[in-house]
Amino acid sequence: MGLKKLTILALYTTLSLIIFAVESAIPPLLPIPGIKPGLANIITLILLRNASVKDTGLVLCARILLSSLLFGQAISLLYSLAGAFLSLAAMALINRLLQNRYIFLTSVTGGITHNLGQLLVAYLITKVSGVLLYLPFLILAGMVAGLFTGLCAHFAQKYLMKLHHGFL
């Protein structure tokens, strides 16, 4: 990996970490645990459209590790990784099927699968089937948050692409 590419990926990691930090300071919108907009995924979506899945995964992993160290607890790392990489795989597939168009649909897919990944981890850790009662709420929240995040990514993309035009 060249120095320019590494620098651009570090900048995207920093941007996503800043967005995550700002979002962490906002009180929860709903009293249901685990529901938040996931605005740091704006960066993930933009990279998924304009860089390789590998580069997107590197930035995503760096953001999760750093945010868990700076803002979270050890257990949040497991939930975040499960949700993030399940959603990355689903978004990469949908993005390819949609031929890099309709970023909001890619994001909705990511929001839903992220919540499914986290719910699966919660079930595996607690072995309490009652956590599955959250499923309808988490699917709906993933759809709404994914749509909002996807639209934000759509509008932010043209400005952020100026950062790395020609580097990735």
pLDDT tens column, 77-116: 999 999 999 999 999 999 999 999 999 999 999 999 999 9
Reported in sequence order, the residue ranges of 24-88 that DSSP labels E, i.e. its strands, are none
What is the DSSP code (8-state) at residue 98?
T
State residue 71's pLDDT score: 82
Work out the angle at residue 97's Cα, subtended by the Cα atoms of residues 93 and 98, and round it to the nearest 5 degrees.
115
Segment 123-150, tens digit of pLDDT: 999 988 888 888 999 999 999 999 999 9
Position 150 scores a pLDDT of 97
Mean pLDDT over each residue of the chain, to the nearest integer = 90
CATH of the domain at 23: 1.10.1760.20
Domain holding 36, by residue range, is 3-164
Say how far apart CA 145 and CA 149 lie, in whole Å.
6
Query: What's the structural domain count of the chain?
Result: 1
Distance of CA 85 to the CA centre of its chain: 9
